[in-house]
Amino acid sequence: LFDNLEEKLLNADLVISSTGAPHAIINKERLLRVFDENIPNKMIFIDIANPRDIAEDVKEIGIDLFNIDDLRGIAEKNKKLREREVIEAEKIIESEFDLLKESFNLIEINSLLGSLRESMEEIRQRESQKGIVKLNAVDAKDIKVIDKMTQSIVNKIFYDISEGIKKSAKENEEDVIKMCETILKRD
C-alpha cells in the first residue's frame, strides 16, 4: 500500500491511518504534491496511530483531520448527549406509564362502579317490591310512582358515590379499587 499511497490518495474521500511508522507519513507538502495544488473540497483523514501518521499541517490546506483524541472527545460528547436523551426518554416512559396505569385503573373503577350500580338496582327492585306488597299497591299508577321514586333515589346516591370514588381513585387508585372490591365482595 505504501508503494502506491499517493495514487490511492487521489481516489480517496476518507483516509484512516494506523501504521507503526516512527514519524508522520502524510503532511501538507506531500498532499500538495499529490494533488498538484488542487486539494479536494472535502477530504477527511482519521489518524489513530501512535505516534501520529498525519501531520497537523494538513489542516492548513482544508483537510479535516481527526486523531484518536478527537475521536475520544466526540465519543464523550455523544455519550453525554445520549445520557441526556436517556433521562428524557425515562421521563417520557414514566409519564406514559402513569397515563397507562391511570387508564387501566379507570377501566377497573368503571367495572367496579358497574357492579355497584347492578347491586344497587337489584336492591332497589327487591325493596320496591316489598314496599308495594306492604302498601297493597295494585294500582299501576302507584307502582309506577314508587318505581320512579326509588330509581331517582338510587340514581342520586349512585351519582354521589361514583363521583367520590372517581375523585378518590385519581389520588390513590389502588386503595380505592381494593376498598370497592371489598365492599362488593369481589376478588
pLDDT band at 2 (very low <50, low <70, confident <90, very high): low
In a domain, 84, yes or no: no
Alpha helices by DSSP H, 49-139: 68-134
Per-residue model confidence (pLDDT) at position 45: 95
User: Cα separation of 165 and 84, whole Å?
Assistant: 39
Clarify whether residues 179 and 102 are in a common domain: yes
- Domain coverage including residue 175: 98-183
Residue 117 is assigned to a structural domain of this protein: yes
Q: Is residue 106 part of a domain?
A: yes
Domain boundary among 37, 62, 87: 62
38 by DSSP, 3-state: which?
A: coil
Residue 111 has pLDDT above 90, yes or no: no
Distance from C-alpha of 90 to C-alpha of 106, rounded to nearest angstrom: 24
- What is the mean pLDDT of the segment spanning 103-131? 89
Tell me if 92 is assigned to some domain.
no
How many helices and strands (H and E) does the chain possess? Answer: 4, 3
| Last residue in a domain, options 62, 79, 109 | 62
2-18 mean pLDDT: 87
158-176 burial: b if 16+ Cβ within 10 Å, else e: beebbeebeeebeeebeeb
Give the confidence band of 14 by pLDDT, cuts at 50, 70, 90: very high
| Within a domain: 164 | yes
Q: Say what the pLDDT of residue 172 is.
A: 67
Do both 102 and 167 map to the same domain? yes
